[in-house]
Amino acid sequence: MKRVKNKKNDVTVIAGCGRLGANLANTLSDEGESVIVIDKDRDSFRKLSPSFSGFFLVGDAAEMMLRNEADLNRAHSVIAVTNNDNSNIFIAQVAKEVYQVDKVIARLYDPERECVYQEFGIDTICPAVLSAHEVEKIMGTGPEVPES
Ligand code: AMP
């Protein structure tokens, strides 16, 4: 079932249409979200599925944030998943501080920077940390979780 959205606050902006960004864009679009996806490489949009019903913009997502070419006033979420930590941080900060976007998520490859940005209200995902947790789970070596 498609979700009904408030017109003023109904867009998810995804910066980076690589393996993760395209996957998210396809999933959210299929769930009925309005999606705008940005990538500097036009070829990246080939990862979007035929059923993708959002918009795509070619260019540097960080520059587009500054020029507000991605309709950030209407965005309830911004997901920064380029393959560059600095770009993702910049995009996330502009979205949070300039446009007061509710939900801002940035992928960070460098685990040491993760906690710093969480303090600014930016949710971060760090593939290295997530992978380490998964490996620990499989190995059975992670911290013990109390039984409920
Ligand atoms: P992946 O590592 O497969 O998730 O891909 C990352 C994507 O981010 C690639 O498609 C890149 O072209 C894209 N990308 C990297 N830097 C930028 C940027 N500044 N603006 C827009 N897209 C970018």
Distance of alpha carbon 29 from alpha carbon 71, whole angstroms: 17
Strand partners, 103: 77
List pLDDT tens digits, range 11-21: 999 999 999 99
List pLDDT tens digits, range 43-72: 999 999 999 999 999 999 999 998 888 788
Does ligand 1 come within 6 angstroms of the Cβ of 20?
A: yes
In a domain, 145, yes or no: no
In a domain, 117, yes or no: yes
In a domain, 3, yes or no: no
In a domain, 114, yes or no: yes
Token pair belonging to 134: 């998964």
In a domain, 6, yes or no: no
Does ligand 1 come within 6 angstroms of the Cβ of 23?
A: no
- Sign (positive/negative) of CA torsion 75, 56, 42, 25? positive
Q: What is the DSSP letter of 96?
A: I
Distance of alpha carbon 10 from alpha carbon 136, whole angstroms: 38
Supply the pTM of this predicted model: 0.89
In a domain, 5, yes or no: no
Ligand 1 atom nearest 64 alpha carbon: 20
In a domain, 50, yes or no: yes
Does ligand 1 come within 6 angstroms of the Cβ of 88?
A: no
List pLDDT tens digits, range 87-144: 999 999 999 999 999 999 999 999 888 777 777 778 999 999 999 999 999 999 877 6
Look up the CATH number of the domain holding residue 53.
Answer: 3.40.50.720
Structurally, how many domains does the chain consist of?
Answer: 1
**Which mutation among 82, 90, 91 tests ligand 1's pocket best, with the greatest number of atoms within 8 A of CB?**
82
Q: pLDDT confidence of 1, banded at 50, 70, 90?
A: very low
Return the amino acid letter for 144: E
Distance of alpha carbon 148 from alpha carbon 36, whole angstroms: 41
In a domain, 72, yes or no: yes
Ligand 1 atom nearest 21 alpha carbon: 4
- What is the domain extent for residue 125? 11-139
